[in-house]
Amino acid sequence: MHPLLPSLAAAGLYAGATAYQGLRLAQRAVPDLRLLTALSVLALLAHSLSLYFQLIIPAGLNLDFFNAASLITAAIILLTLLACRTIPVANLLLLFLPLGCLTVLLAQFGPAGTVRPIDEEPGILAHILLSITAYGILTIAVFQALLLLLQDHQLKNKRPSGLIKNFPPLQTMESLLFGFLWAGWALLSLSLLSGWLFFEDLFAQHLLHKTLLACVAWVVFAVLLWGRYQLGWRGHKAIRLTLAGFCLLMLAYFGSKLVREFILHI
């Protein structure tokens, strides 16, 4: 099967789910979680089918720039849907579903980067899986931080919007943020450890910037978590450090891929 059909189906379903949730929130009403989840799951299934045909090629795993972005976005949406079953994070879908629509279309229609297929050795695949899951959870954390910032700003100005009125209390939002940060940091630690174990030289020329930036991001998140539980850091300081760590991490992965695939062509 050609990935075009599932890609278009996924994009349409993501757009429909986004429109439904956005309209309900604009009307200051709570979206039907079962309907929203059903639309999102259908979109994610079509997205996954598209990814299967785009990623799996005879030479190995085709993890070029846009395929990688699409895969990480699918992981983010999956993790958010799983989290929705037990914690109040459904509002994050309003941010992630359009991202899913965009990345699935870019993976289908965007220019192909110059990248060597990845040999599917178990250790390398384990490292990739850990990295994607860590990036996914930390992406959820950074959007949670942005929503927390928006909620705090609107509550201070006493002008909460329809979206904000559907949020949990500020303290719950902050607890959720640090829960995501703990989980993401732990997975990032395992990802870096697996890289040391399964790559011959993590400081080879084509991996040097990625490795150094990822290590600096790990330190930023570690300092943030230490400051939270030892010094009581919260609010804007916690949000700034979350954004700083996330930017370093995204620069480590997507920045290096962008330069290698579209500028240096290696």
Q: What is the value of pTM for the model shown? A: 0.86
- Short-list 221, 195, 210, 204, CA closest to 250: 210
- Short-list 105, 90, 96, 106, CA closest to 74: 96
Instruction: Evaluate whether residue 180 is within a structural domain.
Output: yes
Instruction: Evaluate whether residue 173 is within a structural domain.
Output: yes
User: What region, left, alpha or beta, does residue 167 occupy, with left being phi > 0 and alpha being psi -120 to 50 degrees?
Assistant: beta
Using one digit for the tens of pLDDT, what is the confidence trace for 99-133? 999 999 999 998 776 666 676 677 778 888 888 89
Q: What pLDDT does residue 236 have?
A: 86
Instruction: Evaluate whether residue 15 is within a structural domain.
Output: no
Range of the domain at 164: 56-264
Which residue ranges in the chain fall short of pLDDT 70? Answer: 1, 113-117, 119-120, 158-165, 200-207, 256-266
Q: How far apart are CA 62 and CA 195, in angstroms?
A: 19
Q: Is 118 helix (H, G, I), strand (E, B) or coil?
A: strand
**Total tally of structural domains belonging to the chain:** 1
**Helix, strand, coil in percent for the chain, rounding step 5:** 80, 0, 20
Q: What pLDDT does residue 122 have?
A: 74
Give the rounded distance of the alpha carbon of 91 from its chain centre.
15
Rounded to a whole number of angstroms, the distance between the first and last alpha carbons of the chain is 29
Instruction: Evaluate whether residue 8 is within a structural domain.
Output: no
Instruction: Evaluate whether residue 41 is within a structural domain.
Output: no
Instruction: Evaluate whether residue 212 is within a structural domain.
Output: yes
